[in-house]
Structure 1
Amino acid sequence: MNDTEFHQLVDIQFTKLEQLIDDSGADIDYDTSGNVMTLEFENRSQIIINRQEPLHEIWLASKSGGFHFKLNDQQWICTKTGKEFIQLIKEECEKQADEEIDWN
């Protein structure tokens, strides 16, 4: 994968995450600036997601710690937990917000 393909694939994940947040109705503000997406919660805590272009990874920092995701069989998989990016971000958002979020 080259850098252009990497950015296109990450853009898809970021757009999907934005849509999930919007559809959930959760009080989560998001902002993307450059290679970094910031999710901010009602309690003022944040989750930071960034693109690590040199490694072709997505990195996520939350209250639970840091997570790195690599593309494996068309899915972004956490190198620490084995969970898929969207699955793990949903779990981390609920921990960060300290409430259950309706992701349907």
Structure 2
Amino acid sequence: MNASQYHELVDAQWITIEAGIDESGADIDYEISENVLSIDFKDRSQIIINRQEAISEIWLASKFGGFHFTYTNNKWLCSKTGTEFMDIVKQECSKHADKEVSW
């Protein structure tokens, strides 16, 4: 995949996260600054999602762990577990918010 395709795919994920957070009604804020999407919770914890363009990955870091995702078979999958990116985003948001966060 070239850089343009990579950015389009990541942008689509970030738009889904933003819309999902807005729809969820949870007390969660988010901000994008350059290649980083920060998701902020009322207890001041964060989930940081960043682009790793050089290796065409998405990385997610939370106080509960770190995950690397590669684009395989039209899905962003965790390199360790094979779990889809958005599923892990929702799981981590739920852990941080201490309640079910879904969209």
Q: Cα RMSD between the aligned structures?
A: 0.8
Determine if the alignment matches structure 1 residue 57 to structure 2 residue 57.
yes
Identity percentage of aligned residues = 55
Moved over 2 A (4+): none
Partner Cα distance (2:98, 2:5) in 1: 35
For structure 2, the residue ranges without an aligned partner over 5 or more in a row are none
Partner Cα distance (2:62, 2:26) in 1: 17
Give CA-to-partner distance per residue, 1:34-67, whole Å, 9 cap, x none.
0000000011100000000000000000012110
Give CA-to-partner distance per residue, 1:10-45, whole Å, 9 cap, x none.
000000011110000111100001000000001110
Alignment TM-score, normalising by the size of structure 2: 0.97
Partner Cα distance (1:74, 1:64) in 2: 27
Match of 1:29 in 2: 29
1:79 Cα shift? 0.6
Q: What is the aligned length?
A: 103
State the AA in 1 paired with 2:73. Answer: D
**3-state DSSP of counterpart to 1:15:** helix
1:8 Cα shift? 0.6
State the AA in 1 paired with 2:46. Answer: Q
**3-state DSSP of counterpart to 1:21:** helix
State the AA in 2 paired with 1:73. Answer: N
State the AA in 2 paired with 1:12. Answer: A
Partner Cα distance (1:72, 1:43) in 2: 34
Match of 2:4 in 1: 4
State the AA in 2 paired with 1:56. Answer: S
For structure 1, the residue ranges without an aligned partner over 5 or more in a row are none
**3-state DSSP of counterpart to 2:31:** strand
